[in-house]
Homo-oligomer: A and B are copies of this chain.
Amino acid sequence: MSRHRVVVDIAGGTNPTWTTTLDELSVLQQELATEGLEIHVLVHSRAWPLVAWNQMSSSSEIHLQAEALARRGVRFVLCENTMHGANLRKRDLLPFVKTVPSAIGELVKKQTDGWAYVRRD
């Protein structure tokens, strides 16, 4: 088990904010690499375009940035309630994205297990 474990709660839907948050996570990985760190990014509500696309959006810079983090071990998790609300199917998600039944349930369970929690817009 890593010494540091954090679930990052992302609910907002604006792209400059996402880029800043993913930049932060990239720096965080370097900062805590030697101590041991596990990062889960929990995406829900209006933030779903960060990890999915549909007719209204197309692959983009932010998807490439997410993919680069995923390749370095960051886990991206999408809320299934959000999926249903946005009419997303499994094949609309970026290939490395996992899903959980509900965002809030995941946040509670992770903290019960000792994970840190950080809210980002």
Q: Which residues of A contact B (CB under 8 A)?
A: 3-4, 6, 8-9, 11, 20, 24-25, 27-28, 31-32, 37, 45, 81, 101-105, 107-109, 111-112, 116-119, 121
A-B contacts, 10 of them at CB < 8 A, read A9-B119, A24-B102, A24-B103, A28-B105, A28-B108, A32-B105, A107-B118, A108-B116, A117-B118, A119-B119
Q: Which B residues touch A108, using CB under 8 A?
A: 4, 6, 28, 32, 37, 116, 118
Q: Is the CB of B111 within 8 A of A31?
A: no
Nearest-CB residue, chain B, relative to A118: B107
Q: Write the nearest CB–CB distance from A83 to chain B, whole angstroms.
A: 13
